[in-house]
Amino acid sequence: MEGNRTIHAALLGAGTVGNGVYKLAAQMREEIAQRTGADFVIDRVLVRDVTKEREDVPRELLTDDWREIIEDEKIEIVLELMGGIEPARTYIREALRTGKQVVTANKDLLAEHGAELFREAQENGCDLQFEAAVAGAIPIVRMLKKSLTASQLTEVMGIVNGTTNYILTRMTEDGMDYQEALRMATELGYAEPDPTSDVEGYDAGRKLAIMASIAFQSNVTFPQVYTEGITKLTAEDIRYAKEFGYVIKLIGMTRLEEDGIEVKVHPMLIPEQHPLAAVRDSFNAVFVHGLACDDAMFMGRGAGKMPTASAVMGDVLDVMHHILSASCGKVKSSYDRQLPVKAVSETKSRFFLRIRVTDRPGALANIAGILGNNDVSIAQAVQKRSRDGVADLVIITGPVWERHFNDSIRILEGMSVIRGISGIIRVYGN
Ligand code: NAP
Ligand code: HSE
C-alpha cells in the first residue's frame, strides 16, 4: 500500500448504502492510497442488530454501542448511513463536537436540521459532506455548491426520486400494477425503509429543500415544501396521458422569484419528446437554469447500493484530502439567508383534468364560462367519449394561478351537470 498514514473511519448503518460503501471502499483501497497518499480503513460499523448476516460487512466489525465509536480517538471520519432524525442527529452533533469529520446520506435530517448541523460543523472546524443525500450518483450537491456558484441560478427542477420513477416506468411501459412495482423497487434497494416517504413525494421534497437552500443560499426546510405523491395516480391517468402524447413523472421544482422561493413536488405530464420523459427506471435528472449559465442538465442513477456508495466515497476522498492538508471545515455554509417561501396557491401551473359531464347542449360553454370567469384559460378541450348521456371532457389549461384554478374546481364540483372531476395533474411548460 502506498500511503504510510492511515485514516480510520466508522460506518453508522450496514443496510443497502452501508454495505455498498463497505464494498466500494474495499475495492478502491489501493486507488484511494494512490489518490490521497493515505490508507482508508473502516474499523467499526454501528447497527441495531449485530446478529444479522450482512452482505458485505464482516460480522466482527459490527457493534450496537455508539460509545465504541465516539470515544475512539483513532476514528477521524464518521459515515452516517442509518437514516431518520434520531439518533442520527445526536450522533452527528457528538461526532462534530469531538472533531470527527462527517459524511452523511441523510436527506430527512438535513432537510429539517441542516442549518443547525452546518453551523455545528463550522464552529468545530469540521467537514459535513452530503453528496449522497440528493439524487444518488449525480454530483449535484457539488455542482450547486461549487461549479455553478457564479451562474446566478433561478431554477432547479427534475426527477429526484428513483423509487417513484421506477414505479411509474413499470406502470407506463409494462402495465405493471402499482403494488407490484413498489415491491420490486423495495427489493432493488431503491425505497426508503418506510416507502411512504418515496410515494408521497416527501423524499423528493426533502431533496428539493436541500437543493433550494444551496442554490439560492437561503434556508429552506422540508415543511415549507408543497408535496403531492403518486399514490392517487391511476392506470387510467397514465393511459390518458399517453393518448395526449405525455408521460407522467414525479417532478420537483424550485424557483427564485422576486417575492420569494417557489418549491414544490408533484406528478406532472411531460411531453413525450422532452428529455425528462426519457429518464426511466431508477434514473434521476436535474435541470438548472441560471442567468449566466443558461440551461444545464445532469442525469444518473438516483438510488441503489453502488450508485449511492459512489457518491458517499466521493465525499470520503474529499474529506481525506482536507484532513491531509489540514483544511477541514473551511467551506462556509450557504444557509445564511431566510427568504420567504411562497404558498403553492401563489404559484402558476398548467393543468390537465377530466370532467364527466351530462352530455347536453351548452354544457361545455358553461364549463368554459366558469373557468374563464376565474381567469383560467383553456389551451385545449376535447370531448373524448359519450356513453349513456355522459361525456368525458379533457381540458388542458394555460398557465394559471393555482388559487384561481382551485376556486374554479370548487364551483364546477357544485354544478348539477358535472358527474365528477378526476385526473387533475399539472402539465409541463408555460
Ligand atoms: P437501510 O437499508 O434501512 O439501512 C439502515 C441501516 O442503519 C441498517 O443497517 C440499520 O441497522 C441501521 N440503523 C438504523 N437505525 C439505527 C439505530 N438507531 N442504531 C444503529 N443502527 C441503526 O437504509 P439505506 O437504504 O441503506 O439508507 C440509509 C440512508 O441513506 C438513509 O438516510 C437514506 O435516506 C439514504 N439514502 C439511501 C439511498 C438508497 O438508494 N437506498 C440512496 C441515497 C440515500 P440494522 O440493519 O441492524 O437494522
Ligand atoms: N428512496 C430514495 C429514492 C433513495 O428512491 O430516490 C435515494 O435517495
The whole-number pLDDT of residue 319 equals 98
The whole-number pLDDT of residue 336 equals 75
Residues 124 and 149 in one domain: no
Per residue in 391-422, pLDDT (tens digit) is 889 999 999 999 999 999 999 999 999 999 99
CATH number where 415 lies:
3.30.70.260
Atom of ligand 2 nearest to the CA of 107: 8
List Cα–Cα distances, 1 to 5, 79, 319, in angstroms.
Answer: 10, 23, 20
Residues 271 and 372 in one domain: no
Residues 130 and 169 in one domain: no
User: 168 lies in which domain range?
Assistant: 140-301
| C-alpha cell read off for 333 | 455554509
Residues 104 and 216 in one domain: no
Residues 162 and 266 in one domain: yes
Residues 159 and 294 in one domain: yes
The whole-number pLDDT of residue 327 equals 96
The Cα 99–Cα 75 span in angstroms is: 10
User: Comparing C-alpha atoms, which of 396, 389, 395 is closest to residue 419?
Assistant: 389
Atom of ligand 1 nearest to the CA of 190: 40
332 in any annotated domain: no
Residues 146 and 282 in one domain: yes
User: Comparing C-alpha atoms, which of 300, 63, 378, 108 is closest to residue 222?
Assistant: 108
- d(CA 103, ligand 1 centre) in Å: 14
CATH number where 22 lies:
3.40.50.720
Atom of ligand 2 nearest to the CA of 165: 5
- d(CA 136, ligand 1 centre) in Å: 14
Contact 274, 235 (CB under 8 A): no
The Cα 48–Cα 63 span in angstroms is: 8
Per residue in 63-121, pLDDT (tens digit) is 999 999 999 999 999 999 999 999 999 999 999 999 999 999 999 999 999 999 999 99
Supply the residue whose CA is at minimum distance from atom 4 of ligand 2.
303
pTM of the model: 0.96
Per residue in 307-339, pLDDT (tens digit) is 999 999 999 999 999 999 999 998 777 677 899
User: Comparing C-alpha atoms, which of 392, 397, 394 is closest to residue 428?
Assistant: 397
The whole-number pLDDT of residue 334 equals 67
**32 CB-side CA count, 13 A:** 26
Residues 281 and 145 in one domain: yes
Supply the residue whose CA is at minimum distance from atom 4 of ligand 1.
15
Catalytic residue numbers, as ranges: 207
Per residue in 232-274, pLDDT (tens digit) is 999 999 999 999 999 999 999 999 999 999 999 999 999 999 9
Residues 297 and 148 in one domain: yes
The Cα 152–Cα 143 span in angstroms is: 13
- d(CA 80, ligand 1 centre) in Å: 9
Return all residues near 73 (Cβ < 8 A) that are at least 6 apart: none
Strands (E) across 120-259 are located at 128-129, 153-159, 226-227, 246-257
337 in any annotated domain: no
